[in-house]
Amino acid sequence: MEKRPHALLLKFPGTNCDAETARALEAVGFSADVLPISQVEPSKLEAVDLVVLSGGFSYGDYVMAGRLAQLVSENALGDSLKQFRDAGGYLLGICNGFQILTRMGLLPEGSLIHNDSGRFKCNWVKLKKSGLKDSPFLRALPDEFELPIAHAEGRFVTKQASEAEALVASGLGVLTYAEDINGSFSQIAGLQDESGRVLGLMPHPERFMEKAHHYDPDWTNVTGGKHGSGHYLFQSIFEEISKK
């Protein structure tokens, strides 16, 4: 039997999007395992193609979002996640996972802080793909597409606003909101690292896998595909890994 690409989802106390993210990965062809952080050690990364940090509230996010998860992960894994990436592995952080990857330093420097409204916000947003740099996670997606967001701490900031602008200009700011959603500098919604193998984004692709997930019953895919936008994100990275 042909070996399918394998995804490993790390689960912290308070991670709560792991089941549907695993379901989404399996829907495009991955095999997927959810591993509670108490069981995580460097050897568990062997034979893994994609490490996923899914959404939720790790440890309640009572300190800065993702901070405790970062410390616990580093304690469990040391710098194995960096080695995993350097060895050609892929990492995806969604929402809380994006916050954690940012705190770990696996993504360009910056911070995800409270939305400028001071509120949790659950709604659908229009996103723009930068297109300046190729992203193996986004290839099958059109230049503009929609996904739902649900976060209180999704405002991406850098020390100087110019640093965020530079991220967009360099193409690392791979995803931006079409409108100002939460006060993010340069309306950044998602970032990748220099290698392109690490992607973090605030919106939730796993919640828009099929047409029926969209709020408008008459929504159609501009590219003519039969799935929701999120499907194509997972499909892109599946194809990237499969062709290796």
Partner 1 sequence: MSFYCHIPITELNGAELEKLSSDMKLSLSRVDMEAVQVIFRDWKREPTDVELEVIAQTWSEHCKHRIFGAEITHVKDGKSEVVSSLFMTYIKELSEEIFARKPGFVLSAFHDNAGFIELDDKLAICLKVETHNHPSAIEPYAGANTGLGGVIRDILGAGKGAKPIASLDVFCFGAPDTAADEIKADGVIHPLGVMRGVVRGVRDYGNRMGIPTVGGAIQFDPSYIYNPLVYCGTAGVIPREYIDKEMSPGLKIISVGGRTGRDGLHGATFSSAALGTDSHEEDLQAVQIGNPIEEKKAADFVLEARDRNLIEFITDCGAGGYSSAAGEMLSEVGGEIFLDEVKLKEPGMVSWEIFISESQERMVLAVKEEDLPELKELADIYETELTELGNSDGSGILKVWHHGELVCELDCRPLHDAPTRHLQSTYTSPSGTASSRDIECMDPAADLKALLGDFAIVSREPVIREYDHEVQGNTLLKPLAGAAGDAPQDAAVMNIDGSERLMAMSQALLPEWGKYDPFAMGAACVDECFRQLVAAGSNPDKIALLDNFCVGNPEDPKELGELVECVKGMAGAADAYSAPFISGKDSFYNYFETDEGPVSIPVTALISGIGVVDDKKHVTGASIRHADSVLCVIGATGDAMGGSVYGRQKELGDRAPLPVTHCDEHLELYRAYHEAVKNGWILAAHDIGEGGLAVALAEMGFSGKAGVEVQLEKMVTGEDASVTACLFAETPGRLLVEVAAADVPALLESMLGAAVAEIGRTTDAHRNLQISFDGKVLIDEALNELKAIWKNGLTPYY
Q: Does 144 bind partner 1 (CB under 8 A)?
A: no
Q: Does 216 bind partner 1 (CB under 8 A)?
A: yes
Which of 204, 223, 160 lies closest to 54 in space, CA to CA? 204
Which of 10, 60, 18, 63 lies closest to 39 in space, CA to CA? 10
To the query of whether residue 151 is one of the catalytic residues in this protein, the response is no
Q: Does 183 bind partner 1 (CB under 8 A)?
A: no
Interface with partner 1 (CB under 8 A), residue from 17, 50, 138, 174: 17
Nearest distance from residue 61's CB to partner 1, in Å? 8
Q: 103 with 70: CB under 8 angstroms? A: yes
Helical (H) or strand (E) element with 103: helix 96-104
Rounded Cα distance, 146 and 171, in Å:
20
Interface with partner 1 (CB under 8 A), residue from 4, 6, 13, 67: 13
Whichever of 85 and 214 has its CB closer to partner 1, that residue is: 214
Per the residue annotation, which of 17, 206, 213, 231 is the catalytic one? 206
Residue 144 vs residues 33, 125, 140, 174: alpha-carbon distances, Å: 31, 10, 12, 12
Residue 82 vs residues 11, 75, 87, 106, 181: alpha-carbon distances, Å: 18, 14, 9, 7, 31
Tokens found for residue 42: 């460097």
Nearest distance from residue 58's CB to partner 1, in Å? 9
Residue bearing tokens 């420097």: 109
Per the residue annotation, which of 17, 151, 153, 204 is the catalytic one? 204
Q: Does 38 bind partner 1 (CB under 8 A)?
A: yes
Q: Does 120 bind partner 1 (CB under 8 A)?
A: yes
Q: 50 with 241: CB under 8 angstroms? A: yes
To the query of whether residue 204 is one of the catalytic residues in this protein, the response is yes
Helical (H) or strand (E) element with 66: none
Nearest distance from residue 15's CB to partner 1, in Å? 8
Binding flags for partner 1, 190-209, as an x/- string (CB under 8 A): --------------x-xx-x
To the query of whether residue 206 is one of the catalytic residues in this protein, the response is yes
Read off φ and ψ for residue 60, nearest 5 degrees: 85, -10
Q: Does 55 bind partner 1 (CB under 8 A)?
A: yes
Which stretches of the chain bind partner 1, using CB under 8 A? Answer: 13-14, 16-17, 19-20, 23-24, 36, 38-39, 55-57, 59-60, 119-124, 148, 150, 204, 206-207, 209, 212-213, 215-218
